[in-house]
Chains A and B, each alone.
Chain A
Amino acid sequence: MPADNASSLTTRAEAFPYGLRVLVVDDDPTWLKILEKMLKKCSYEVTTCGLATVALHLLRERKDKFDIVISDVNMPDMDGFKLLEHVGLEMDLPVIMMSVDGETSRVMKGVQHGACDYLLKPVRMKELRNIWQHVYRKKIHEVKEIESHDSNEDIQILRSRYEDFDERHGLFSGVDSVRKRKDVDSKELTDQEYGDSSAVKKARVVWTVDLHQKFVDAVNQIGFDKVGPKKILDLMNVPGLTRENVASHLQKYRLYLSRLQKQNDVLTPSRNVQSEFCPKDLPVGIGFQSSISAPQNSVGSRYVCTTQKIQAQGIFSDIQVDDLKSIASFQATDTKNPLRSDVTDPPKINSVSQLGVLVSFMPNVDYKPLEQAVSKQQPLSSSIPVMQVMQYPKNNIENGGLLQGFSSSSQPNQEHKLLDHLHTAPPLISMSCNTTEREKVDISNTKPVFTEHRNNHTRTTSPITCTIDSVSVHVGHGIVNSQTFTAPREPSGSPRKGAFYFDQTSNCGLRSPSQELNLKNGAELVSFPEDLQLYSLQGYGYLENVGLNGMEIFEYNDSTSEFHSNFYDEVEFDIRQLCDATDYPPLDGCLFT
């Protein structure tokens, strides 16, 4: 570490690092005090924070009030890596990790998660004095240049620093190979990063939502298995953006996805269908795209969205396959089955839809209303609709698949099975209760919607839709758990895929409810991302979509009012959600196995 160089740099660029706004996060008060003092001695502006959750809250609340974050790795309330991830994705601030533990794997993990540096305790002041470089590196390439600097000269000097950086990238590529990511692109990517020591190229670009959207669009257009930085760059066609920028963003993106995927794998151990990067799985790609398209519309919540999306997705793609089948069979009964009316009667349907709605709402829902709904439902044995959904997949499988399955599906069979499975329903319901803890929602709002659409369609359709809702609810679960409101994104990507499995008749049935929902609730929305999803809904024909739409709508509603604030207030969410997410697999299992 060229310390001399550093000090000379400091004097040269005195105006800049002076007043650097640093947020220090450490649960150890002693270190907090020392670090604060050290940083103050460097003439930095220091804010200290003993809890990661509080830090995150601070960062979200005062987005542009910090230049850099220094965080301890081991903190009781939130893993430092987790914090790092949030900060990296939401605020795009450089984060320095620190720990007494210098184990290579730990350091690697830090770098993987996007730490720009990893300091070992005891941290020395000269190391801290030097942290401005991370901010500066970023700043150089932001559109607004720092005027008072001879940046070229500084870049020259900075370049020597990159050796340090490059080493880390070297490590990084090592990590890649460890992880057996053998796709050409990532190699290309790491090669690039490694071999290219030019400061200009190494610079961080500010990945605005728009830019990221373009990026994701490009990724999806190319196909996740074929993406390479160059292709993306060409597609994005953004002046000033370098291949290197794209490459590193892609890398970040992938790591991010893989982490979420891993989490997801942990949560749904029985469904390992998707490998980490799972490039061939189209639904995944779609998910990505959509996940980002939404953020554009909802400015406030976008970040959170991005975080969640993928987890949700993983679950989704899994389910979609199954649901696909279920839908198929579904329609069959729908269109051709007069028996339906026997099975379901309106009141039941109502309660079911209620449940569905409630569950699909996100974090802000009242617990109590939900419970009520649920309890109502159970006595009514409205679980029937739910059961239907659960049932069909089996039938289909027996019948040998999607469309054929449903066309040939023997309705009597289905019915029997429905009944047989009635008793399985309660678990489903109870699960949903778990998920929806502390959400705040207008039940009144939702109810009318459902009833209305029931009117618009034949009786038979409505039960079906309801069922769908309840199913989607569960799907929604996953999303909720994974952290919030991402759900919406899914559908927007789907138009591309999809439509095949869908049946015309059911289309109407499915689509219109959601449309109504949109109209009604969407009116207050700031934007209408749902519009997209409508189509996708149609195209997809997956059960979840309905639920998703509903969910999204409510989210947006909420967001207009108190959502945003709550949102950030509930930092602990992640943690809890993780736990909640475990609810999902069992449900899954009982649905489709």
Chain B
Amino acid sequence: MEYSNLKRQATSMKQNLFDQGYLDEQFYQLEELQDDVSPNFVEEVVSLFFKDSSRLMANIEQALENNPRDFNKLDSYMQQFKGSSSSIGASKLKSECIQFHEKCGEENIEGCTRSFQKVKREHGILKKKLEAYFQLMRQVGPGDRATCSSN
């Protein structure tokens, strides 16, 4: 009873993430990849993403501080970030990246900085949400994940 309750919670949580535009179908792709060999695959990937994206963000932050006029560099950093975001289907984050890219194109430092703050915020929000989700999933247990991930 409790299990199914937890499961339902997790499912709806995930559904919310989709509905609110945080995630896109790439996330399902990841779930499909999860199997007996790597039962925690999605979570592993997601935590890897957050680890690496934090590094990328630090890069961008530094670049913004040190040489904000080097838009090429900023853009290429953000491109990396965007590519990374696409890996877990973090669609909101991705669209913020695109905003940033545009500001870069305009050579708008202020815009870039503002846009980057948004990216950072979205990154933080997503991280929290996904952490909560995976915590729930851990409680649900491996056996039930398949059903859960089949949406």
| In the complex, number of A-B residue pairs with CB atoms less than 8 Å apart | 55
Chain B contact residues, majority secondary structure: helix
Residues of B within 8 A of A211 (CB): none
Inter-chain contact A74/B32, CB cutoff 8 Å = no
| B80-94 interface with A by 8 A CB criterion | 80, 82-84, 86-89
Q: Report the separation of the CA atoms of residues A29 and B45 in the bound assembly, to the nearest whole angstrom.
A: 9
Known: A28-B87, A122-B89. A33 touches B76 (CB 8 A): no
Q: Which of A34-42, A145-153, A214-222 lines the interface with chain B?
A: A34-42
B33 touches A28 (CB 8 A): no
Does residue B17 face the partner (Cβ distance < 8 Å to A)?
no
Q: How far is the CA of A389 from the CA of B19 in the complex (A)?
A: 75
Chain B residue numbers with a CB within 8 Å of A99 are: 83
Q: Mark B14-35, 1 if CB is under 8 A from A, else 0.
A: 0000000000001001101101
- The answer to whether B52 touches A37, judged by C-beta atoms less than 8 angstroms apart, is no
- A38–B26 alpha-carbon span in the complex (Å): 13
Say whether A72 contacts B29, CB under 8 Å. no
Contact at A74–B87, with CB atoms within 8 Å?
no
Q: Which residue of B lies closest to A74 (CB)?
A: B79
Q: Which B residues lie within 8 Å of A33 (CB)?
A: 44-45, 48
Contact partner, A100, options B30, B35, B52, B82, Cβ 8 Å: B82
User: A residues 60-76 with Cβ under 8 Å of B?
Assistant: 72, 74, 76
> CB within 8 A of B48: which of A30, A38, A41, A121?
A30
Contact with B41, one of A37, A74, A121 (Cβ below 8 angstroms) = A37
A31 near B83: Cβ-Cβ < 8 Å: yes
Q: Which of A80-127 contact B (CB under 8 A)?
A: 99-101, 121-122, 124-125
Q: Does A27 make an interface contact (CB < 8 A)?
A: yes
B49 within 8 A of A: yes
Give the docked Cα–Cα distance between A36 and B87 (Å).
13
The reply to whether the CB of B38 lies closer than 8 angstroms to some CB of chain A is: yes
Could you say which of B32, B33, B86 contacts A121, with CB atoms under 8 Å apart?
Answer: B86
Residue of B nearest to A121 (CB): B86
Residues of B within 8 A of A27 (CB): 80
The answer to whether B76 and A30 touch across the interface, beta carbons within 8 angstroms, is no
Q: Give the nearest-CB partner of A75 in chain B.
A: B80
Interface residues of B in 57-106 (CB under 8 A from A): 76, 79-80, 82-84, 86-89
A24 CB to closest chain B CB (Å) equals: 13
Q: Which of B29, B38, B83, B87 contacts A124 (CB 8 A)?
A: B29
Looking across the interface, which residue of chain B has its beta carbon closest to that of A28? B84
- B contacts with A, residue count (CB < 8 A): 23
> Do residues A34 and B76 form an inter-chain contact, with CB atoms below 8 A?
no
Q: B76 contacts which chain A residues (CB < 8 A)?
A: 74
Chain A: which residue is nearest B47 at the CB level?
Answer: A30
Instruction: Please determine whether B88 and A30 come into contact, CB atoms closer than 8 angstroms.
Output: yes
Other-chain contact of B86, A41, A74, A100, A125 (Cβ < 8 Å):
A100
Instruction: Contact check, B82 vs A125: say whether CB atoms are below 8 A apart.
Output: no
Q: What is the minimal beta-carbon distance from A71 to any residue of chain B, in angstroms?
A: 13
- Bound-state Cα–Cα, A100 to B83, Å: 5
Greatest chain B CB density within 10 A among A30, A41, A72, A101 is at A30
Q: Given contacts A29-B48, A30-B88, is CB(A122)–CB(B29) below 8 Å? A: yes
Which of A28, A41, A76 is close to B52, meaning CB atoms less than 8 Å apart? Answer: A28
The answer on a CB contact under 8 Å between A34 and B30 is yes
Decide if B45 touches A28 in the complex (CB within 8 Å): no
Rounded to whole Å, the gap between the CB of A128 and the closest CB of chain B is: 11
Quick check: B38 and A74 within 8 Å, CB to CB?
no
Identity of the chain B residue whose Cβ is nearest the Cβ of A99 in the assembled complex: B83
B87-A121 in contact (CB<8A)? yes
Residues of A within 8 A of B86 (CB): 100, 121-122
Q: A30 to B89, Cβ gap below 8 A?
A: no
Query: Which residues of chain B come closer than 8 Å to A31, judged between CB atoms?
Result: 83-84, 87
Tell me how far the C-beta of A328 lies from the nearest C-beta in chain B, rounded to whole angstroms.
47
| Most central of B44, B84, B86, B87 by chain A CB within 10 Å | B87
A72 to B83, CA, bound (A): 10
Are B79's CB and A100's CB within 8 A? yes
**In the complex the two chains form, is A34's CB within 8 Å of B87's CB?**
yes
Contact A122 B87 (CB under 8 A): yes
Query: Interface code A539-580, partner B: CB below 8 Å = 1, 0 otherwise?
Result: 000000000000000000000000000000000000000000
Report the minimum CB–CB distance from B77 to chain A (whole Å).
9
B82 touches A29 (CB 8 A): no
Chain A: which residue is nearest B56 at the CB level? A28
Q: Smallest Cβ distance from B96 to chain A, in angstroms?
A: 14
CB-CB nearest 4 A-B residue pairs: A100-B83, A30-B87, A122-B26, A30-B49
Q: Which A positions have Cβ atoms within 8 angstroms of B?
A: 27-31, 33-34, 37-38, 41, 72, 74, 76, 99-101, 121-122, 124-125
With A30-B88, A74-B76, A125-B33 given, name 18 new contacts (CB 8 A).
A27-B80, A28-B84, A28-B87, A29-B52, A31-B84, A33-B48, A34-B30, A34-B45, A34-B87, A37-B41, A41-B35, A74-B79, A74-B83, A76-B80, A99-B83, A100-B83, A122-B26, A125-B29
Question: Would you list 7 pairs from A and B whose C-beta atoms are within 8 A, ordered by A residue?
Answer: A28-B84, A30-B45, A74-B79, A100-B82, A121-B83, A122-B26, A122-B87
